[in-house]
Structure 1
Amino acid sequence: MNEFPQVLTIAGTDSGGGAGVMADLKTMQMRHVFGTAVVVAVTAQNTLGVQDFMAMPPKLVDEQCASLATDLKIRACKTGMLADAEHVHCVVENLKRYDFGPLTVDPVMIAKGGAALLAEDAIATVRDELVPLATVVTPNLPEAEKLTATTITDQAGMVRTGHALQRLGAKNVMIKGGHGDDPAMANDFVLLADGSAFWLAAPRTDTVRTHGTGDTLSACITAELATGHSVADAIKTAKAYVTGTIQETIQVGHGHGPLNHWAALSEAVTVHDA
């Protein structure tokens, strides 16, 4: 009983199917683990943007976590959209209460179309309460800047901010460079718990169909950790998977379209020592 690898996403939904819980579960399925979900918020959303959202009552978040803990054997989990400080704190308390395995924190703040998915006053709660629980934290450049009150203008800045995030308590850090100004490559910085570090680079694809990249990447890391892979290997696989989902594009919607979760791992990703 309960031997098949089971994983958990604690996040918001995306009615358009491209991000949030929907992207997480698609990714988990593709990486051959059984995905479960605790829904923190529900969005009215499509490829054109987020029209509205509503957070779940904290009591219902508690009950979802308790329900999973009493029956399933969750081997790894991730967080995504957590809405506000009250819900971040609620999730933190549940993560302390139950053993859901190694935690990947995707500190979601802004949707692809620009809508705020985390209240401004909740950033400190994520920084002070959630990040210290993280096995892996995966901010993009703007999120990393917000969490550390720094400005990143080059790769040296990414390295400094990676160490700052580790000082906040995260064991392993991946700073995603998709918002960087290199026109040819997306460069990510990875800092591991043992102090070693490396860069992941992938060629950019000229497309607006990149909705859900952060969710997909963190969900893939979660799946790989649940099946026994090291943090370094999980991150490398996730980068290759997300790159493939962007390169093998599909045509859905009129705006920031979704990834192709059926895609194979890309062979275009390179690894460089930091």
Structure 2
Amino acid sequence: MLIPCVLTIAGSDPSGGAGIQADLKTFSALGAYGASVITALTAQNTCGVRSVEVVSCEFIAAQLDAVLDDLDIRAAKIGMVADPQVVEMLADRLAQRRPPWIVLDPVLVAKSGDALVDDAAISAVAKYLVPLADIITPNLHEAAVLLGERRLIGRSDMPAVARELRARGAKAVLIKGGALEGQACDDLLVSDAGEQWLCAPRIETDNLHGTGCSMSSAITARLAQGRSLPQAVEEAREWLLGALRASDQLSVGKGRGPVHHFHALW
């Protein structure tokens, strides 16, 4: 069996729970070979983000070209992109050398509430990357921010917000409902196949660091392995629920710890 090559284009988390590090762990856990292009360096841990340093557009382009010149990338995931110039460069290069699947996780705000990108970068992501992606995976706050709203949307808003994101170019939208109140954790997938609610009871844990990164990377791995879009989303979600259930087996950091990426293997 050939193992597909997949790519993450994202920021680095030195504490290992989110960003590039979480993406590569997810790819490995799900049987895909992961490559990476680093867009930003963050000084962060399970307690919060201390500093962000953006990698130059020229060096990000050099990383991307090096990977695409050599590896047969079957799916690519785009995470944190903090510079509008980088957004435009990525959109241009990926349009010319498009992998079969592109997943966009619009990383705009950390779990701690710390802003990771500015308004100019948000506008560029919405204009150039949202229409490029086969699926975007915003949480409730990110979905609202992409539409220029500053309020936290609720469950009843999710269908209309997803439809509006599709109207603005997104081919498929998975709005993650982890921030919803109550005992349920409901996500909404809207695509050409219609609207599908994915519901599960909430898992009581503080180990939520990197859940969005890990979810989008799991979708990327499953798409590269030949799953349909709805199947990839469902399988990724089931894997992440297992990683959350097993997260208390780890003891990492003093704040919000990471999920257990290798819960099925260790």
Provide the TM-score with structure 1 as the length reference: 0.92
Contact 1:152 1:158 (8 Å CA) reproduced: no
The offset of 1:231, in angstroms, is: 0.3
Distance 1:139 1:234 in 2: 16
Contact 1:241 1:263 (8 Å CA) reproduced: no
Give secondary structure in 2 for the equivalent of 1:197: strand
**Number of aligned positions between the proteins:** 262
1:211-247 deviation line (CA, Å, top 9, x unaligned): 0000000000000000100000000011111111111
Give secondary structure in 2 for the equivalent of 1:256: coil
Which amino acid in 2 is paired with 1:227?
Answer: Q
Contact 2:144 2:153 (8 Å CA) reproduced: no
Distance 1:127 1:83 in 2: 13
Matching of residues 247-262 of structure 1 within 5 Å: 247-249=245-247, 250-262=250-262
Matching of residues 55-70 of structure 1 within 5 Å: 55-70=54-69
1:183-231 deviation line (CA, Å, top 9, x unaligned): 201100111123x111111221222110000000000000000010000
Partner of 1:215: 213
Which amino acid in 2 is paired with 1:67?
Answer: A
Partner of 2:158: 158
Partner of 1:27: 26
Partner of 1:146: 145
Contact 1:25 1:36 (8 Å CA) reproduced: yes
Distance 2:124 2:80 in 1: 13
The offset of 1:97, in angstroms, is: 2.6
When the two chains are superposed, the root-mean-square deviation of aligned CA atoms in Å is 1.6
The offset of 1:123, in angstroms, is: 1.2
The offset of 1:180, in angstroms, is: 1.1
Distance 2:245 2:85 in 1: 38
The offset of 1:147, in angstroms, is: 1.0
1:4-36 deviation line (CA, Å, top 9, x unaligned): 300000000000000000000000001101000
* Structure 2 unpaired stretches of 5+: none
The offset of 1:152, in angstroms, is: 5.7
Partner of 1:128: 127
Which amino acid in 1 is paired with 2:198?
Answer: L
1:55-84 deviation line (CA, Å, top 9, x unaligned): 111111111111111111000001111112
* Structure 1 unpaired stretches of 5+: 266-274
Give secondary structure in 1 for the equivalent of 2:185: strand
Provide the TM-score with structure 2 as the length reference: 0.94
The range that moved more, 86-95 or 117-126, is: 86-95
The range that moved more, 130-139 or 154-163, is: 154-163
Distance 2:29 2:138 in 1: 23
1:131-185 deviation line (CA, Å, top 9, x unaligned): 000101000001101112355644331000110111111111100001112x201
Point out 4+ residue stretches in structure 1 off by more than 6 angstroms: none
Give secondary structure in 2 for the equivalent of 1:134: coil
The offset of 1:92, in angstroms, is: 1.4
Q: Work out the percentage of aligned pairs sharing the same amino acid.
A: 39
Matching of residues 1-274 of structure 1 within 5 Å: 4-150=3-149, 153-181=153-181, 183-194=182-193, 196-249=194-247, 250-264=250-264
